[in-house]
């Protein structure tokens, strides 16, 4: 077995199947205050009604000009998510204070997790938040995430319309009235219900993406933390295969509560290889930083297949059986089954190394959009190294058909006739799709039973396929809609 030096990690169960990414105690005290400054206790705990699940609520990033008009007409309920001292010093007129710390707490062995949706509903109801009035959440340039996590929790709990103030309190203070009067707390009945679509991703769902490559993981933390530099976690690094998009890269440098223009943000996402047709899971350290990315991808760009891994690095790094990657490259090891190597996306350095080791053909299972987002031209580099390249795209709306297995066989036969003794690299983003194609080839073209093919791949260290039935043309599920 031949490995690159990128990651040495324990492998999870080989046959975890993934066809789609899918699927605290009592109530927390109120965070508002009465107009005379004295705390006003809630009258009774309010919980979400047992009404049918609904669609994810509408979310919008609004300018300060529009926010001023909405506040003046009393058409929104402002929520100040900044520290209470800042709220007391001055806030948007009519705003209540609700610290984002009340949205999460210890859960089992994890020090911080989101409360259940019924608990969140009780918190919002006691703060006087009603689903009948749109909410305007805001933070400031020092901590714009306080508003993002507030908006995420409101949408997850079933609020139908949430607005986020672009530029935060700094933008408001420069052009509009500031108040020091405390918002009046009036306990409301929460009549929203959580959306039917999945909002949060579980540990098992993230693990299946790592195992199968059917999905994209996005790490929203700073690059230094992503690379595993410094301390602060039980284990440092990132989830194998994850790409890094620091949440701050979406914001302006002079005011981190102010978003960059949409075209600039879309360019950042394209450069990272993100595709709206592919399941995307965002994560960070504790689930806080990733809320901003979730809101932008799912609600602003309206990507339909985005979820947030709330356990994030806190949960992943605490399990020693789960793999960890370090450095800039989010790629997995190279495994050899005879003269065929299976891997994730090779870097320029790794491709040069593999050329020295006798690789003369590279077969990519990545889509054209994925390949276009690479930081280097793989075909041109391979050609300069004397390596032929072939594309058999699997992913998104492409591939996973028996003809792809036949195309792979034809490529191997032609390569053997042309270059006897040369090795073949079969790759995708992190190895999952490539493994699926290799195992399907063993079944269709070499006559192995599926069980024997999987055992052979497992012996070589190659992870298990989830798309085998599709490639074999049996029990094929309908293609998911983007």
Query: Catalytic residue positions?
Result: 284
Q: Tally the C-alpha atoms within 13 A of residue 178's C-alpha that lie toward its C-beta.
A: 14
- List the structure tokens of 94: 């009519």
Beta strands in 276-408 (DSSP E): 280-283, 306-309, 335-337, 340-343, 359-364, 388-391
Question: 3-class DSSP state for residue 178?
Answer: coil
Single out the residue of 69, 100, 68, 85 nearest to residue 173, CA to CA: 68
- List the structure tokens of 243: 């790409």
Find where tokens 């020295």 sit: 356
Q: Which residues contact 166 (CB under 8 A, 6 or more apart)?
A: 61, 62, 63, 64, 257, 258, 259
* Strand 335-337 versus strand 340-343 pairing type: antiparallel
Length of the chain: 482
Q: In whole angstroms, how far apart are CA 453 and each of 208, 212, 374, 432, 477? A: 20, 16, 32, 15, 22
C-alpha of 100 from chain center: 21
Beta bridge partners of 342: 335, 426
Q: In whole angstroms, how far apart are CA 314 and each of 74, 184, 219, 361, 427? A: 40, 37, 13, 40, 30
Q: Is the Cβ–Cβ distance between 373 and 278 less than 8 Å?
A: no
């Amino acid at each position: 077995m031949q490995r690159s030096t990128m990651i040495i990690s324990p492998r999870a169960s080989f046959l975890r199947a993934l066809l789609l990414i899918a699927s605290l105690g009592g109530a927390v005290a109120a965070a508002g205050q009465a107009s005379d400054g004295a705390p006003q206790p809630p009258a009774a705990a309010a919980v979400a009604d047992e009404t049918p699940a609904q669609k994810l609520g509408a979310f919008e990033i609004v300018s300060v000009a529009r926010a001023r008009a909405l506040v003046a007409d009393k058409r929104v309920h402002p929520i100040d998510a900044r520290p209470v001292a800042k709220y007391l010093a001055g806030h948007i007129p009519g705003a209540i204070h609700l610290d984002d710390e009340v949205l999460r707490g210890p859960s089992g062995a994890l020090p911080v997790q989101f409360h259940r949706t019924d608990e969140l509903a009780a918190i919002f109801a006691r703060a006087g938040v009603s689903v009948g009035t749109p909410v305007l959440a805001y933070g400031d340039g020092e901590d714009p995430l306080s508003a993002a996590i507030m908006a995420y929790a409101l949408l997850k709990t079933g609020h139908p319309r949430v607005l986020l103030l672009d530029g935060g309190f700094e933008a408001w203070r420069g052009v509009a009235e500031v108040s020091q009067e405390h918002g009046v707390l009036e306990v409301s009945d929460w009549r929203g219900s959580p959306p039917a679509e999945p909002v949060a991703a579980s540990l098992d769902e993230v693990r299946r993406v790592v195992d199968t490559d059917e999905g994209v993981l996005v790490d929203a933390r700073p690059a230094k933390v992503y690379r595993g530099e410094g301390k602060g976690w039980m284990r440092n690094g990132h989830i194998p295969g994850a790409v890094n998009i620091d949440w701050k890269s979406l914001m302006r440098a002079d005011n981190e509560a102010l978003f960059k223009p949409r075209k600039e943000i879309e360019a950042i996402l394209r450069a990272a290889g993100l595709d709206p047709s592919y399941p995307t899971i965002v994560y960070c350290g504790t689930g806080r930083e990733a809320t901003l990315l979730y809101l932008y991808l799912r609600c602003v760009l309206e990507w339909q297949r985005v979820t947030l891994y709330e356990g994030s690095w806190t949960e992943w790094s605490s399990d020693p059986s789960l793999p960890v990657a370090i450095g800039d490259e989010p790629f997995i090891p190279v495994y050899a089954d005879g003269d065929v190597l299976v891997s994730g996306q090779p870097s320029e350095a790794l491709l040069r190394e593999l050329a020295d080791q006798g690789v003369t053909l590279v077969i990519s299972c990545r889509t054209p959009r994925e390949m276009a987002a690479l930081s280097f031209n793989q075909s041109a580099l391979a050609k300069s190294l004397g390596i032929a390249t072939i594309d058999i795209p699997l992913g998104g709306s492409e591939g996973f058909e028996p003809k792809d297995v036949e195309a792979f066989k034809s490529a191997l036969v032609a390569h053997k006739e042309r270059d006897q003794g040369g090795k073949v690299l079969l790759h995708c983003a992190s190895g999952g799709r490539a493994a699926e194609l290799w195992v399907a080839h063993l079944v269709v073209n070499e006559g192995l039973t599926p069980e024997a093919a999987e055992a052979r791949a497992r012996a070589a260290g190659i992870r298990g396929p989830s798309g085998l039935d599709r490639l074999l043309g049996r029990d094929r599920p309908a293609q998911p809609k983007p």
